[in-house]
A and B are shown apart, each in its own frame.
Chain A
């Protein structure tokens, strides 16, 4: 167990370093940091002096080490666009994205598992086929179209739900939450559905496929032969065994939900890090781009670690060959 943990941790650090290298290259080669800091009237000497001050003339490994050290403390410099420290801006925006991501993940998981189980148990019923067809439409509908459609129906035509923003927020310590006000909760509904729909269809199809697989196995047949009730077989055995890969995928998808929020946040003007990132791309605001990249990588690494541990806890077989096993 300990060796497994250490190995995973080391791997994670390597991953972070690789992503850090990409972010660092963005910083130093894509945008000329000097050009963005001084006006065009600055003399060559002023530029050279600033280069020296910032250590841009140091050897590459030294510069990279400094970048990593700063990044580890969350320092990514000043946003070109907003003239504010990037870490502060991201910290302000992160709660909005996390709340949205968690609500959509929950929504996707809950509905996805229910619908998937239903579709597997009634695999020849027409409702099951309908669910599967609709799920395919869900995969084929671009997120932004879903968002526009939902706004058009529920905000403009029916006027039930707000079309943009986060509603009223409450400051709880350093966290600004929309969970505690009515307008905050209402504002969550449409973006959460938009963001969760793709994952929902994914989870549903996965649960169905896994469940069908498990239902075919011998021990299920044996359980049936023993005369266990359908209910006990389906939910006690089959579903439980289906959940292992589902946990993995959902866990891994959480990272991608956070990143996918870019589109949803743009459509709904949701004030999270995704909207920040897309504006940064348009403005070529490199510090924000680099910081966002590192942030998503960090999420990925942390989520992966947690999933590995969960996996380890759920599936005893893995303890034998711990470490080499992954979802697929």
Chain B
């Protein structure tokens, strides 16, 4: 087959020989599976959008490649009082348009990011007031003591106030209503790269900012970045192998071995700051999406336990993920504060016990239920869900798989239409509070905004609210422990695995891999 293919190729391709691919050494051709949704840096809190924004814009506090917190546009910070922070800002930094960066810009950006329709306001919801002390000093007052404010600020990038006013983008783009403003397709940051051109969904070109304030400490070898979203993973891999791309995210796990064997390609991996799990609606009295009339099987903890026992995560790890996952016992990624190995232990796969539990709960005959999955969000998400359908079938639960594109999946999830769904959760603050705040707190319009399970516990709510203001580390850790105990005991979510992150690159390219899956092109070196 291969010989024939080569022969055929020789016949057709003789005219084309001599036109081999040759990457210009200073250009980095990068592909992820999807494009930034917008360049407005406060409009969408979403992976590819963040990756793009963080090349062009800088935050006050930077999350370095090793995930430690480093000074960014702020050189130092200090809590003057439990609720008052003072940030000393970097001097001599200028925006891409040449204007100087001052405390006014920082204050403007934080204010922009903490009011609707900013999608980042959850990170900075604790801020009561931002005031400018002098040109390079900023004072932030929080409503209650907030020990993790610097960590939270790593997600808020700084725009130029004058530029925003000039182009009428003082307000964040209202993405949900389809608004378009100047900042969506243009950018003016202080970052290591400036925007050269942008075709949404097609191609974005960045060029090096030679005046970058941090150029001494970074390799800064990349002169140009050409970023092209390639949604098909097979195409992405083919393009990397053929030398059309230098760095790709999400290489399919099935292709890793082949990529590793190729001398032209290097693969790096690290456990990702994200855990994949299943959500179950235990709050409703009756589910529309199941075959059981008048009651909700998922409200019975024994059913949730049965589902947990029926799923063989080791087999999923071995076959579907080809080893590129770490089976999980809780939905906490391994990096974060509050994680404990003892929480991450999973009861072994046990079909018999699962059937017994179902029988005890009154479902000897099993039941039918709709099961929703994204098919383009997580590594092999659809294949994982298919495997789960099979495993649930073996204990009598007939799951009807509805696998669809991520935007529909999340839209339906947020509309409360899904009772049994797959979700992945990363923790950008590296702290358990972020999980409890979004996924376990009662859904009250403010907290619990991603808690679609109907789980509600007063004790949990108290703990979550306590975490926000507790500055004493030991006391805070005790709160986290207590919250995890409740969470694990309830089995609100059925954990599957921690994702393992892979980046594949041409072997002449080197970049430190980041657990947040958001490469910084300034760190790239060429060999």
A residues contacting B by CB (< 8 A) are 37-40, 78-85, 92, 151-166, 169, 176, 182, 186, 266-269, 271, 282-284
Most buried by A among B8, B38, B239, B243: B239
Task: Determine whether the beta carbon of A84 is less than 8 Å from that of B2.
Answer: no
A157-B178 contact, Cβ under 8 Å, with A165-B228, A269-B232, A271-B202:
no
A-B pairs with CB below 8 Å: how many?
Answer: 107
**A85 CB, min distance to chain B CBs, angstroms:** 7
**Per-residue interface assignment for chain B, residues 1 to 28, with 1 indicating a CB less than 8 Å from any chain A CB and 0 otherwise:** 0100110110011001101110000000
Question: How far is B230's CA from A305's CA once the two chains are assembled, in angstroms?
Answer: 38
The answer to whether residues A160 and B177 also contact, given A82-B200, A92-B199, A155-B238 and a CB cut-off of 8 A, is no
Cβ of B244 < 8 Å from any Cβ of A? yes
With a CB–CB cut-off of 8 A, which chain B residues contact A154? 9, 12-13
Given the complex, which residues of A lie within 8 Å of B13, measured CB to CB?
154, 158, 160
- Contact check: which of A39, A83, A162 meets B178 at CB < 8 Å? A83
**B16-A163 in contact (CB<8A):** no
Known pairs A153-B9, A164-B238. 17 more at Cβ < 8 A? A40-B414, A83-B38, A83-B175, A84-B200, A92-B202, A151-B235, A155-B242, A156-B241, A157-B2, A159-B242, A160-B9, A163-B239, A163-B244, A169-B203, A176-B199, A182-B19, A283-B405
Indicate if B478 sits at the interface (CB-CB under 8 A). no
A39 touches B176 (CB 8 A): yes
Please give me the residue from chain B that is nearest to A84 by CB atom: B180
Bound CA span A178–B255, Å? 31
Q: Taking the nearest CB of chain B, how far is it from the CB of A166, in angstroms?
A: 8
Q: Which residue of A lies closest to B173 (CB)?
A: A83
In the complex, chain A residues whose CB is within 8 Å of the CB of B199 = 92, 176, 271
The contact of B231 among A80, A155, A269, by CB within 8 Å, is: A269
What is the minimal beta-carbon distance from B29 to any residue of chain A, in angstroms?
10
B5 — which chain A residues lie within 8 A by C-beta? 152-153, 157
Select B238's contact among A85, A151, A169, A283, beta carbons within 8 Å.
Answer: A151
- Assembled-state Cα–Cα distance A266/B202 (Å): 13
* Cross-interface CB contact of B230 among A85, A151, A165, A283, cutoff 8 Å: A165
CB distance from B261 to the nearest CB of A (A): 14
Question: Complex: how many Å from CA A169 to CA B198?
Answer: 12
Return 29 A-B CB contacts under 8 Å, by A number: A78-B178, A80-B178, A81-B407, A83-B37, A83-B179, A83-B180, A84-B180, A84-B184, A151-B235, A154-B13, A156-B241, A156-B242, A158-B6, A159-B243, A160-B17, A162-B244, A163-B235, A163-B239, A164-B236, A164-B238, A164-B244, A165-B230, A169-B203, A176-B199, A186-B19, A268-B235, A271-B203, A282-B408, A283-B408
Q: Are A163 and B238 closer than 8 Å at their CB atoms?
A: yes
Of all A-B residue pairs in the complex, the 10 with the closest CB atoms, nearest first, are A78-B178, A83-B178, A271-B202, A163-B238, A159-B242, A158-B9, A164-B235, A153-B5, A155-B242, A282-B405
List the B residue with the shortest CB-CB distance to A162.
Answer: B244
User: CA separation between A37 and B17, bound complex, in Å?
Assistant: 53
Contacts of A82 in B (CB 8 A): 200-201
Tally of contact residues, B, Cβ under 8 A: 45
B8 touches A153 (CB 8 A): yes
Who on chain B is nearest to A182 by CB? Answer: B19
A112 to chain B, nearest CB (A): 17
- Smallest beta-carbon distance B45→chain A, Å: 15
- Interface flag for B415 (CB, 8 Å): yes
**CA of A40 to CA of B239, assembled, Å:** 41
Which residue of chain A is the closest to B241 with respect to CB atoms?
Answer: A156
Task: Tell me if A269 and B230 are in contact (CB < 8 A).
Answer: yes
User: In the complex, what residue of chain A is closest to B43 when comparing beta carbons?
Assistant: A83
Docked-complex contact A85 and B180, CB < 8 angstroms: yes
Query: Contact flags (1/0) for B65-83 with A, using CB distance below 8 Å?
Result: 0000000000000000000
In whole angstroms, what is the CA distance A122 to B2 when docked? 33
Given contacts A158-B6, A283-B405, contact A79 B178 (CB under 8 A): yes
Q: Which B-chain residue is minimally distant from A165 (CB atoms)?
A: B228
Residues of the B chain whose Cβ atoms lie less than 8 Å from the Cβ of A152: 5, 238
Report the bound CA distance from A156 to B242 in whole Å.
6
Q: Which residues of A sit under 8 angstroms from B242, Cβ to Cβ?
A: 155-156, 159, 162-163
**In the complex, which residues of chain A have a beta carbon less than 8 angstroms from the beta carbon of B414?**
40
Once bound together, how far apart are the Cα atoms of A153 and B8, in whole Å?
A: 9
Residue of chain A at shortest CB distance from B415:
A40
Q: B9, A284: Cβ atoms under 8 Å?
A: no
Query: When chains A and B are docked, how far (Å) is the Cα of A309 from the Cα of B179?
Result: 44
Distance (Å) between the CB of A169 and the closest chain B CB?
Answer: 8
Q: Which residue of B lies closest to A287 (CB)?
A: B178
B180 touches A164 (CB 8 A): no
Report the separation of the CA atoms of residues A164 and B236 in the bound assembly, to the nearest whole angstrom.
Answer: 8
Q: Complex Cα distance A160/B38, Å?
A: 34
A residues in contact with B239, CB < 8 Å: 155, 162-165
Q: How far is the CA of A84 from the CA of B179 in the complex (A)?
A: 7
Q: Determine the chain A residues whose CB is within 8 A of the CB of B180 once the complex forms.
A: 83-85
Residues of B within 8 A of A78 (CB): 178
A186–B239 CA distance with the chains assembled, in angstroms: 14
Q: Which of A156, A169, A266 has the most CB of B within 10 A?
A: A156
| B residues in contact with A163, CB < 8 Å | 235, 238-239, 242, 244
Beta-carbon contacts under 8 Å, B217-235 to A? 228, 230-232, 235
The chain A residue with its CB closest to the CB of B237 is A156
- Residue in contact with B16 in the complex, picked from A156, A161, A266, CB distance below 8 Å: A161
Rounded to whole Å, the gap between the CB of A165 and the closest CB of chain B is: 6
How far does the alpha carbon of A115 sit from the alpha carbon of B518 in the complex, in Å? 52
Q: How far is the CA of A315 from the CA of B236 in the complex (A)?
A: 50
Q: Which residues of B sit under 8 angstroms from A169, Cβ to Cβ?
A: 203
Q: Shortest CB–CB separation between residue A154 and chain B, in angstroms?
A: 6
Residues on the B chain within 8 Å of A81, using CB: 407
Name the interface residues of B443-491: CB closer than 8 Å to any CB of A: none
Residues of chain B contacted by A38 (CB below 8 angstroms) = 177
* Contact B21–A159 (Cβ < 8 Å): yes
Residues on A with beta carbons closer than 8 Å to the beta carbon of B243: 159
Residues of B within 8 A of A165 (CB): 203, 228, 230, 239, 244
A202 to chain B, nearest CB (A): 21
CB–CB B9/A157 < 8 A: yes
A262 to B146, CA, bound (A): 52
Q: Which residue of A lies closest to B416 (CB)?
A: A40
The complex places the Cα of A14 from the Cα of B193 at a distance, in Å, of 53
Residues of B within 8 A of A164 (CB): 230, 232, 235-236, 238-239, 244
Residues of A within 8 A of B16 (CB): 160-161, 186
| B441 → A minimal CB distance (Å) | 19
Q: Do A284 and B408 have beta carbons less than 8 Å apart?
A: yes
Query: What is the CA–CA distance of A233 and B242 in the complex, to the nearest angstrom?
Result: 49
Residues of A within 8 A of B231 (CB): 269
Inter-chain contacts of A84 with B (CB < 8 A): 178, 180, 184, 200
Contacts of B407 in A (CB 8 A): 81, 283
Q: What residues of chain B lie closer than 8 Å to A155, measured between beta carbons?
A: 238-239, 242
Select from chain B the residue with minimum beta-carbon distance to A270: B202
CA distance A165 to B29 in the complex (A): 12
B129, chain A: closest CB distance, angstroms = 27
On chain B, the residues within 8 Å of A80 by CB distance are: 178
Task: Name the CB-closest residue of A to B232.
Answer: A269
Closest to A77 in B: B178
Q: A80 CA to B180 CA in the complex, in Å?
A: 12
Q: List the A side residues contacting B177 at CB < 8 Å.
A: 37-38, 83
- Tell me the minimal C-beta distance from B43 to chain A in angstroms: 9
For residue B201, which residues in chain A have a CB less than 8 angstroms away from its CB? 82, 271
- List B175-207 residues whose CB lies under 8 Å from chain A: 175-180, 184, 199-203
Q: How far is the CA of A79 from the CA of B236 in the complex (A)?
A: 26
